[in-house]
Chain A
Amino acid sequence: QSVLTQPPSVSAAPGQKVTISCSGSSSNIGNNYVSWYQQLPGTAPKVLIYETNKRPSGIPDRFSGSKSGTSATLGITGLQTGDEADYYCGTWDSSLSVVVFGGGTKLTVL
Chain B
Amino acid sequence: EVQLVESGGGLVQPGGSLRLSCAASGFTFNSYSMNWVRRAPGKGLEWISYISGGSGTIYYADSVKGRFTISRDNAKNSLYLQMNSLRAEDTALYYCARGRVYDAFDIWGQGTMVTVSS
Contacts and interface: CB of A to CB of B under 8 A. Distances in A.
Contact of B110 (A37, A39, A44): A44
A110 interface: no
A interface SS class: strand
B11 interface: no
Nearest to A56: B106
Interface of B: 35, 37, 39, 44-47, 50, 59-62, 95, 97, 101-106, 108-111
Interface residues of A, number: 27
Interface stretch (A9-17, A19-27, A70-78, A93-101): A93-101
Interface of A: 2, 32-33, 35, 37, 39, 43-47, 49-51, 56, 86, 88, 90, 92, 97-104
26 contacts: A32-B102, A33-B103, A35-B103, A39-B39, A39-B45, A43-B110, A44-B95, A44-B111, A45-B95, A46-B108, A47-B104, A47-B106, A50-B104, A51-B103, A51-B104, A56-B106, A86-B44, A90-B47, A92-B101, A92-B102, A97-B59, A98-B62, A99-B35, A99-B101, A100-B47, A104-B44
